[in-house]
Amino acid sequence: MLIDTHAHLTFPEFTADLPEIIARAKAAQLEAIINIALDNEAINQSFKLAEEYPGYLYTALGLHPHEASQWRDTDYQRFQQLATRHKIVALGEMGLDYHYKLSPLEQQKKVFRKFLQLAQEVDLPAVIHSRDAAQDTLDILREENQGKLRGVLHCFAGDMKLGQAALDMGLYISFTANITYPKADNLRQAVKSIPIDRLLIETDCPFLAPQIYRGSRNEPAYVIKVAEKIAEVKGLSYEEVALQTTANAKHLFQI
Ligand SMILES: [Zn+2]
Ligand SMILES: [Zn+2]
């Protein structure tokens, strides 16, 4: 049993063969997939997908920092209403991306704050994206956390100042298959230092295929490679990693 806690199944890379992808995920012992809808178009598609795969596909709703420019003043209320819909298990992804800077930084910060406020108001976990923005992410998390924040730092990039602060706030930390890349020693070091009961696994597919499939499309079934690498790095059995990360995901997303 495994759960891919972060997949983007509404991406065009998956339109041609999604049923096969879901079948392969089931064959790989995945018991659920959290589909992350990161813009308005993906949100609409994600509702349809969740209907097609009841009890298997769950939805997180948000605006990726790349899409922060899409935010409108009425969006707080709009997302508040959407969040009450069936099978919504999280808000996000939300956060800061200073690597590509596709939305103005001030807008990214504003929208991140709004989602953190809303997550606590509607009591859903926050799926947080932070790239080349560790310090601002940390400052905003500290300022906006009213003691009720639950969530996960997804696709963790290895900054342990942010990582430790997230752990201290009770957040989970999620790793993708980039921990299998030869140069990712800093990530493997982070895997080693974070307790297993605070770890989640994800693919972030279609991105970040594991090393053996690198350069091709990633998909939920490959989350097995993340669990294998965590087991190897931490000196645990694969079964232990699978059981514990699945229990962590169920606890956080209440599925
Ligand atoms: Zn992300
Ligand atoms: Zn993502």
251 is in an annotated binding site: no
Ligand 1 centre to CA of 235 (Å) is 28
Ligand 1 centre to CA of 86 (Å) is 23
Span 7-30, pLDDT tens digits: 999 999 999 999 999 999 999 999
What mean pLDDT is reported for the chain?
Answer: 96
Tell me: pLDDT of 86 over 90: no
The pLDDT, as a whole number, for residue 85 is 81
Ligand lying nearest the CA atom of residue 155: 1
Tell me: pLDDT of 138 over 80: yes
Rg of the chain over all Cα atoms, to the nearest angstrom: 17
Ligand 1 centre to CA of 176 (Å) is 10
Domain count, the chain: 1
The stretch 207-236 carries a mean pLDDT of 97
Tell me: pLDDT of 153 over 80: yes
Span 24-78, pLDDT tens digits: 999 999 999 999 999 989 999 999 999 999 999 999 999 999 999 999 999 999 9
Residues, CB within 5 angstroms of ligand 1 (ion): 93, 129
Q: Percentage of the chain surpassing pLDDT 90? A: 97
129 is in an annotated binding site: yes
pLDDT range class, residue 146, cuts 50, 70, 90: very high
99 is in an annotated binding site: no
pTM for this prediction:
0.97
**DSSP-assigned states of every residue in the chain:** -EEEEEE-TTSGGGTTTHHHHHHHHHHTTEEEEEEEE-SHHHHHHHHHHHHHSTTTEEEEE---GGGGGG--TTHHHHHHHHTTSTTEEEEEEEEEETTT--S-HHHHHHHHHHHHHHHHHHT--EEEEEES-HHHHHHHHHHH--S---EEE-S----HHHHHHHHHTT-EEEE-GGGGSTT-HHHHHHHHHS-GGGEEE---BTS---GGGTTS---GGGHHHHHHHHHHHHT--HHHHHHHHHHHHHHHHT-
CATH of the domain at 151: 3.20.20.140
pLDDT range class, residue 87, cuts 50, 70, 90: confident
Question: Range of 236's domain?
Answer: 2-253
